[in-house]
Structure 1
Amino acid sequence: MTEKYYVAGCVDNGLDVDQVEDQDAEFWTLYAREANGESEWLADFSDRSSAEAVMAVYAERDALSEQVRVLALQDSPGKVYQIRKLDGSEEWQQWEEVDEGEYHASVSSEGWEHRILFGLPGGCDG
């Protein structure tokens, strides 16, 4: 499988940016590879190590996002569903705890913000 993120050495030829070997690079660009095979520019860096450090953060963020997605699909006992109406009223600042059915009904309606809070099994001793 191809990695989603990659770093390439680049030069600016005045009209466009070309990818080159590292020894010829003026700067390094962090790209995200899209599902269709095209690449999206994310950021430029003056050195490869900085670009690779930021690439690691993007990859870690994606891994954490996947873990949260998996947790959301599980029937975990510490799951708390909350919603709030985005209508500018004073109440919009308060989250309301709801059951799973109401949560999913509200999520499909415009004008609502939603979140799921996850607890660790057995609670958290801190």
Structure 2
Amino acid sequence: MRPAPSGLRTLLWRATRVKLVLFVVVAAWIIGSAVGLAARGAVSVSDGDVLAGGATEPGSVSALVRAHDCWTGSAPDDVSVPGHVVAGRGAGPVYGGARMVHLALDQVFAGTPHGLTVYAFCR
């Protein structure tokens, strides 16, 4: 027969079990999101010249992608989160930083409309 748990141990268990459950749920959500991102793989590319190797005029999508080490499919193995993005909002493609990366990821993977045309993600 086991002895009754001490009052301190019971108190600690009650205080931590909700936090433990929340931690497991959040960890599962993060892992599930990462697997979902990897499974989706390619970002839809809106400008055909990126894949076809077409126009490379300064400021074109192809020129920006080539100049900034970007990708249009699955991310390289050594990149967990892109640092930049090639995207546009009507005025043509631009090379954007952290704020635009956040908006682009949110639009591409969560479906939140931010009015961007996302061409590629970059290091």
Task: Sort the TM-score into its range (normalised by shorter chain).
Answer: 0.3 to 0.5
Q: Name the structure where helix makes up a greater proportion of residues.
A: 2
- Which one scores higher on RCO, CA 8 angstroms, separation ≥ 6? 2
Q: Name the structure where strand makes up a greater proportion of residues.
A: 1
Normalising by the residue count of structure 2, what TM-score does the alignment of the two structures yield? 0.33
Normalising by the residue count of structure 1, what TM-score does the alignment of the two structures yield? 0.32
